[in-house]
């Protein structure tokens, strides 16, 4: 496999990191999002470091033949441990048991990284090998142990992470399950990478030359595994964010008729902070909901309980469920109050029994009232009658 086999996954993972970076900037205290971004960046770094030009550059700049080997092994081991820690936290939250398991992973994989570098210093790897370091030094004291240690640590992380994700995926649904399945597939490919590497090294111990398993068969498995694992971590977060954005957009749009009615009738409600043209949809929704509440307060002197009771009775007679009839009645009262305000602006005290009745201000009810203002013949008729009566 050429160097593109390393550069392309590195670029894909770094692109995924850049896509999530704005969300991390907006949510700096989101531990899970920060951990996922860190893993994407680390995975990209692993592939970048494992590319032959990078390996050669590290060796050349440092002046130490094969220094890139412990560097790549250390970063790959750190990435394996970090993935395992993230899965533990993602699955178990912040309980004391989760914290203990996470600390244990950090200690174990931190110890492995120290051991890898110690073994490299103790061994003799004076001949630079850019592509076949694992098999070339498979029989060299200390370097042999370093190679086996990093492969076993990587294998252990793959087995445990895949098992945890598979067990978890059987208990959840939707995007989370899809993400977990992607992670499982990615780690199964990683196990194939580790297996082929170990077989190639073991073949050297038996005086056989199966180096092609290490140099040609294993790297494509890693190149396929990394985007799957990264995608598995990102997918639930992306779909969750898209879902929130879609629901926010739908809610904002559906509140439009009610916001327009109250803004026209009550002069836009109480004054508030002006938002710029680049404000987020979430901020616009908050501002719209606040304006609706202010508008309802401004229209209180115009609320007519008789209008509400009449529409409620008619809605029930037409077969509407009681909760829906209540929504239609509240919407009709608001529509009639808006027309009354147009005919008699400046009223400060209610007439009749308007002071004893108020529309629901629950968030979901406001959306349903807004829809009713646009679609319900009962609500529209109440508004027309208020206009004709000059209320």
DSSP state of 213: I
pLDDT at 1 over 50: no
Tokens read off for 184: 């499982």
Tokens read off for 147: 């190679």
HSE, side-chain direction, 13 A CA sphere, residue 389: 13
Q: What is the pLDDT of residue 123?
A: 93
* Residue 353 pLDDT grade (very low, low, confident, very high; cuts 50, 70, 90): low
> Is 86 in contact with 109 (CB distance < 8 Å)?
no
pTM, to two decimals: 0.63
The CA angle 226-227-233, to the nearest 5 degrees, is 95
Tokens read off for 82: 């970090």
Residues 365-382: pLDDT tens digits? 899 999 998 889 988 888
Tokens read off for 296: 């309802």
Domain edges within the chain: 4-249, 255-389
pLDDT at 267 over 70: no
In angstroms, what CA-CA distances link 383 with 174, 316, 329, 331, 332? Answer: 44, 19, 12, 10, 7
CA distance 336 to 308: 9
CA distance 315 to 324: 8
Place of tokens 């492969």: 151
Q: What is the pLDDT of residue 5?
A: 62
Q: What is the pLDDT of residue 85?
A: 83
- The fold of the 4-249 domain, in CATH, is Rhopdopsin 7-helix transmembrane proteins (1.20.1070)
Dihedral angle sign, alpha carbons of residues 34, 38, 41, 47: negative
CA distance 185 to 181: 6
> Is 74 in contact with 116 (CB distance < 8 Å)?
yes
Residues 55-69: pLDDT tens digits? 999 999 999 999 999
Residue 29, burial from CB neighbour count under 10 angstroms (0-12, 13-18, 19+)? exposed
pLDDT at 78 over 70: yes
Q: What is the pLDDT of residue 185?
A: 94
CB crowding 358-371: b at 16 or more within 10 Å, else e: ebbeeeebbbbbbb
DSSP state of 29: T
pLDDT at 273 over 80: no
> Closest Cα partner for 155 from 195, 120, 115, 127?
195
- DSSP notation for 267-301: TTSS------TT--HHHHHHHHHHHHHHHHHHTGG
Q: What is the pLDDT of residue 9?
A: 75
pLDDT at 206 over 90: yes
Mean model confidence pLDDT for the chain: 83
Q: What is the pLDDT of residue 270?
A: 42
Dihedral in degrees, nearest 10, Cα atoms 184, 187, 189, 192: -130
């Amino acid at each position: 496999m050429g160097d593109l086999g390393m550069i392309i996954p590195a670029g894909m993972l770094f692109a995924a990191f850049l896509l999530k970076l704005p969300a991390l900037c907006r949510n700096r205290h989101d531990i899970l999002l920060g951990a996922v971004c860190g893993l994407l960046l680390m995975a990209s770094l692993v592939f970048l470091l494992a590319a032959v030009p990078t390996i050669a550059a590290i060796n050349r700049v440092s002046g130490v033949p094969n220094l890139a080997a412990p560097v790549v092994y250390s970063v790959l081991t750190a990435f394996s441990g970090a993935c395992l820690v993230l899965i533990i936290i993602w699955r178990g939250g912040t309980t004391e048991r989760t914290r203990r398991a996470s600390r244990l992973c950090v200690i174990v994989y931190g110890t492995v990284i120290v051991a890898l570098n110690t073994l490299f210093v103790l061994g003799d790897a004076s001949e630079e090998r850019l592509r076949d370091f694992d098999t070339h030094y498979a029989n060299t004291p200390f370097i042999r142990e370093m190679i086996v240690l990093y492969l076993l640590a990587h294998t252990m992380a793959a087995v445990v992470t895949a098992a945890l994700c598979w067990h978890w995926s059987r208990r959840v649904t939707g995007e989370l399950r899809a993400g977990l399945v992607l992670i499982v597939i990615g780690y199964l490919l990683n196990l194939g990478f580790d297996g082929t590497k170990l077989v190639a090294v073991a073949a050297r111990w038996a005086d056989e030359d199966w180096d092609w398993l290490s140099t040609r068969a294993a790297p494509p498995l890693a190149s396929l595994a990394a985007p799957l694992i990264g995608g598995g971590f990102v997918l639930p977060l992306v779909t969750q964010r898209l879902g929130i954005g879609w629901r926010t957009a739908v809610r904002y749009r559906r509140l439009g008729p009610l916001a327009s009615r109250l803004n026209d009738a009550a002069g836009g409600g109480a004054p508030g902070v002006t938002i710029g043209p680049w404000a987020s949809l979430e901020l616009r929704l908050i501002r719209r909901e606040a304006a609706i509440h202010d508008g309802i307060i401004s229209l209180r002197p115009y609320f007519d309980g008789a209008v509400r009771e009449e529409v409620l009775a008619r809605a029930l007679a037409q077969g509407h469920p009681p909760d829906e009839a209540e929504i239609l009645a509240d919407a009709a009262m608001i529509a009639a109050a808006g027309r009354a305000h147009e005919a008699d602006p400046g009223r400060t005290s209610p007439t009749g029994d308007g002071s004893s009745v108020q529309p629901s201000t629950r968030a979901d009810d406001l959306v349903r009232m807004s829809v009713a203002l646009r679609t319900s013949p009962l609500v529209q008729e109440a508004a027309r009658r208020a206009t004709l009566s000059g209320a």
